[in-house]
Structure 1
Amino acid sequence: MPLLMHIEPLLIPAELYQLGDTVTVTVHSNEPLIHIKTMTKECSLASNFVAADEDCPPPTYQIWDQWLAPFTELAELQQKVATDPSLVVCGFPANDGCVDIWHHQGQARAVYCRHSGASEAQRAMLLVALALDYPLEDAVVLARAHARSYQDHNQRAQGDLIWPTEAKVFPRALTINYHQIKQLGWLTDDQEVAPFAALGSSKLGLYPVLESADWVERVLQLGVKTTQLRIKNPQASDLEHQIQQAIVAGELAQAQVFINDYWPLAIKHHAYGVHLGQEDLDSANLVAIQQAGLRLGISTHGYYEILRALEYQPSYIALGHIFATLTKEMPSLPQGVSRLALYQKLIGKRAPTVAIGGITIERAAKVWRTGVTGVAVVSAITQADDPAIAVIALRSILAPKVEIMTAGVCDDDKHYAL
C-alpha cells in the first residue's frame, strides 16, 4: 500500500503529458514478483531476493536497493552487473552519494547522484517508467530524479502533478569525463576529452540530413546553412570523394556541414563537424576529433543517453527519433512530441538541440514549439515534388523564436507545454 500511494500520483502527470499508454495497476497479495506488460515487452521484478521456487520463474530484473555497512567495493558491483543482465543496483552508497547500475550489452552502466532521495518514491517511479515503456536505463534515471525531486519539494499530496523536469534533480552519467569517477572507484578505459568547439550559429533551424554530396550541394544553393552527409554504406566506392565534396561545398557556402560516422575521413579532410551515434562513442577517438577542432553532434534516444552526451560537452545534441521513420532502422520506439518537450527542458541552454526522425512539413511546427534549436528532416526535402518549395516552407516555420512569458499552457498542445 505505501508503494501504491506513490504510484497513483505519478500516473496523473504521465497521462496528462501523454507520456505513454494508460497504465492500470492490479494487486495480487500472494504474488512474489511484480509483473509489467506493455505493447512491446513483458518483464518481472523482484526486490532484494532471488526467486528459486520452481513454480516462480526467475525475475527479468533483480533489484538490489537495500544496503547495510560494511559496503562492498563499487568495482566489484560493476563486475557483477556486467556479467548478470538481470541485476539492477539502486542507491548503492558511494562517496557521500549513491550510484545506480544496470547491464548494457555486456557492460555495466551507471549514474551518480549526490543525494539519494526518498526510497519509496524511487521504487514507484522505476515501476511507472517501465510500465510507460521507457527502457530500463531511462527508468533508472527517472526513478532517481523523482526520488530527489520528491524529497526536495516534500510533495506528498496524492493530487500533486509531480514529474521530474529540473536538471538539478537528475543524476550524472558515469563517464570518464565525470571529475569524481576515480574517487568513486568506477573502472573505465576511456580517455578524458575536453569540450568540443561551439557552433558558428547555435540557432540551427532547418537541418537537412542527406544521403549524397550532390544533395548537400543542392540544399546549400537553396540557402540552407546547416546540413549533414549521412552515407549508410561504408563500402561505397566513392565514399571518401563524396565526403571531400560535401566538405568543400560547405566551405564555399560558409555553412556548417557535418559528416555522419566517418570521423577519420572527416579529420583528414578538415570537416566542419562530425555526427556520432551512441554506439560510436565507445569506438570513435573523441580526443582526436576534439583536438582537430571539429564540432561534434551526438544522437540520443532518451534520458540516460542525454545525460551521457552532456558529459562530453558536445557542440549539439540530437533528440530522436520523434516519429516513426523509414529512413533508418531504429532500436528504440518513437519518442513523440511530449517526451521531446521534457528532454528539451532537461537540457535547457546547456547545449543546442536538434529534433530528428519522421518530421514532415506538417509536423515541424509542433516540434519547433518544444524549444529545440534545430529540426532535422530527410524525406521532407529529398522526396518533395519541389525541394526548393519544401525548403522555403520549412524555413518559414522554423523562423527565430519570440520568447513569451506565460503562466498558462498553449491551447492546442497543452500536454507538452511544461
Structure 2
Amino acid sequence: MSTLSLPNHLMPLLMHIEPLLIPAELYQLGEIVTVTVNASEPLIHIKTTNCDCSLAFNFVAAEEDCAPPTYQVRDQWLAPVAELAELQQKVVADPSLVLCGFPAGDGCVDIWHHQGQARAIYCHHSGASEAQRAMLLVALALDYPLGDALVLARAHARSYQDHNHRAQGELIWPTDAKVFPRALTVNHPQIKQLGWLPDGQLVSPFAALESNDLGLYPVLESADWVERVLSLGVKTTQLRIKNPQVSDLEHQIQQAIVAGELAQAQVFINDYWLLAIKHHAYGVHLGQEDLDSANLVAIQQAGLRLGISTHGYYEILRALEYQPSYIALGHIFATLTKEMPSLPQGVSRLALYQKLIGKRVPTVAIGGITIERAAKVWRTGVTGVAVVSAITQADDPAIAVTTLSSILAPKVEIMTAGVCDDDKHYAL
C-alpha cells in the first residue's frame, strides 16, 4: 500500500485527488493509495514500495524552516521570466528542481532533472492548475517515475479544463492523445523558437515496416536461433547479443541478416547499429539510452528501419518525435532475461499506452510474456508481442511457435480503448 500525506494548506486538492484514485484502483494502475492530512507538516510526503519522497510547491526554505524537499515544484510564474535555456541549465544543476507550466512560445513547458540532463515536455495550453497538481501527486503515489507523472499531470490538466469532468462526475483518466504534451527533442518543430537547447541532429522519419501485422516477435540471443525460428515461419525477429565482447559478434550479425534476406523476413539487430549499417540489416532496435549516443541520421540515411524501447509515458512521447518504424512497450511482467531500470508495467498500463499511441506507429509488447499471458497482452491492441524464453526455453520450440502464432493471429478489429486484468476488459 502507498501513502500520500498532504499538509493542511493543500486540503482543497482532495476534491481532485479522490476522483483520480477511483479509476486508478479499478484498473489496477498501481498499489492502493491511502491519503491523509497532517496539520503539523509543511511538506507533502509520498511513500510507495520503491520510493519515499517529499514535495513542496513553490518552496521557500527560509519561510518553511525545514529541510529541503526531494522535489521543489515551481508552478507559479510572474513576468519577467527567465529564458528557457537558463532554466534548463538550472534544472541540470539541481536534481530537486521541477518546473511546471513555464510560459514559452504560445504554450507552456514542464522541466525536470534526469541523470544529469534536463528533460521537458511542451503543450499549447496548461490546463487547470489544481487538476495538474492533483494528478502529479496521485501518479507519484502510484509509483510512476517523475517524468511520467508530469506527463500524466499535464494531460489531465488539459482534459479537465476542456471537458469539465468535475461537473460531469465522470471517472477520469487521460487517454486521448490530443490532450498529451509533446517531448522536447531536436525533432520538435518549435525547438528553436522556444529556446530549448537540444542534443543530437534533426532526423527524418524512418522507413516503414514491410508488414505492420507483426504478431509473434521472438527476441533471440544467437544467429542460430534466428535461423531456427525463421525456418518455422516467423517473419519478424530480433538478434539481441548482450555481450559486446563475444568473439564472433560481427559474424553472427551478418549470419542473421543473411538469414532474414533468404526468408524474406524482418530481422532487427539490437544495439550494434554500426555493424547493422555495414552489413545492410533490415532494421535496428535501440534502447532509450542509445538515442543519446547512436547516430540516428546515419541509420535513417542507410535505409534501416528503427525500433525504440520505451518504459512509460515520457519515453513513448520521446520515441514518437523520432517517427520510428515501431515502438516497443515494456517490460510488461517481471523478467529474468535482462536487468531492467524500471518496474513491470502490467497489462493495464500497457492498454493505456496503446490507447495513447493508437495507429500512429506499430507497437510491440515485451517483457516476461509467456504463452499463458500472450492472449491478454494481445487484447490490448498491440501490433506485436515479443517473447524470449517462451520459445528458447520451451521443451519443443516448434510447438511454442505454432501455439503463439495461433494466439497472435491478425486482428479483425484492434481494441485499444480499454484496460485489462487477468479476467476482464474494461472501457475507460
State if a TM-score over 0.5 links the two structures.
Answer: yes
CA contact (8 A) 2:352 2:418 kept: no
Which residue does 2:5 correspond to in 1? none
Q: Distance in 1 between matches of 2:43 and 2:167?
A: 28
Which residue does 1:209 correspond to in 2? 219
Distance 1:216 1:127, change over 3 A: same
1:86 is aligned to 2:92: no
Q: Could you tell me which of 286, 303, 311 is aligned with 1:301? A: 311
1:239 is aligned to 2:249: yes
Q: Distance in 1 between matches of 2:190 and 2:256?
A: 40
CA contact (8 A) 1:341 1:417 kept: no
CA contact (8 A) 2:381 2:415 kept: no
1:402 is aligned to 2:412: yes
Q: Distance in 1 between matches of 2:329 and 2:416?
A: 25
Write out per-residue CA displacement over residues 127-165 of structure 1, whole angstroms, 9 at most, x where no aligned residue.
000000000000000000000000010111484211000
Which residue does 2:301 correspond to in 1? 291
Which residue does 2:364 correspond to in 1? 354
CA contact (8 A) 1:16 1:415 kept: no
Distance 1:280 1:9, change over 3 A: same
CA contact (8 A) 1:338 1:415 kept: no
- Letter of the 2:250 partner, please give it: E
CA contact (8 A) 1:338 1:416 kept: no
Distance 1:231 1:33, change over 3 A: same
Write out per-residue CA displacement over residues 249-271 of structure 1, whole angstroms, 9 at most, x where no aligned residue.
00000000000000000000000
Structure 2 gap ranges (5+)? 1-10
Map 1:56-67 onto structure 2 (within 5 A). Answer: 56-67=66-77
Write out per-residue CA displacement over residues 175-211 of structure 1, whole angstroms, 9 at most, x where no aligned residue.
0100000000000231100000000000100000000
Which residue does 1:50 correspond to in 2? 60
Deviation at 1:57, TM superposition (A): 2.0
Distance 1:176 1:255, change over 3 A: same
Q: Could you tell me which of 117, 123, 127 is aligned with 1:113? A: 123
Map 1:7-406 onto structure 2 (within 5 A). Answer: 7-51=17-61, 56-157=66-167, 159-403=169-413
CA contact (8 A) 1:50 1:62 kept: no
Q: Distance in 2 between matches of 1:313 and 1:407?
A: 23
Deviation at 1:31, TM superposition (A): 1.2
Structure 1 gap ranges (5+)? none
Number of equivalenced pairs: 418
CA contact (8 A) 1:243 1:266 kept: yes
Identity within the alignment, %: 89
Deviation at 1:50, TM superposition (A): 3.3
CA contact (8 A) 1:51 1:59 kept: no
Q: Distance in 1 between matches of 2:233 and 2:364?
A: 19
CA contact (8 A) 1:325 1:357 kept: yes
CA contact (8 A) 1:370 1:417 kept: no
CA contact (8 A) 1:337 1:416 kept: no
Q: Match of 2:23, SS?
A: helix
- Letter of the 1:23 partner, please give it: V
CA contact (8 A) 2:185 2:199 kept: no
Q: Distance in 2 between matches of 1:252 and 1:31?
A: 67
Range moving further from structure 2, 399-408 or 58-67 = 399-408
Q: Once superposed, which parts of structure 1, at least 4 consecutive aligned residues long, lie more than 6 Å away?
A: 404-412
RMSD: 1.8
Q: Match of 1:231, SS?
A: coil
Q: Distance in 2 between matches of 1:6 and 1:250?
A: 53
Deviation at 1:289, TM superposition (A): 0.1
- Letter of the 2:285 partner, please give it: H
Q: Distance in 1 between matches of 2:418 and 2:36?
A: 35
Q: Match of 2:34, SS?
A: coil
- Letter of the 2:98 partner, please give it: V
Range moving further from structure 2, 226-235 or 151-160 = 151-160
Q: Distance in 1 between matches of 2:321 and 2:407?
A: 32
Distance 1:174 1:404, change over 3 A: closer
Q: Match of 1:99, SS?
A: strand
- Letter of the 2:378 partner, please give it: W
Deviation at 1:54, TM superposition (A): 9.8
- Letter of the 1:174 partner, please give it: L
- Letter of the 1:392 partner, please give it: T
CA contact (8 A) 1:381 1:390 kept: yes
Q: Distance in 2 between matches of 1:404 and 1:230?
A: 29
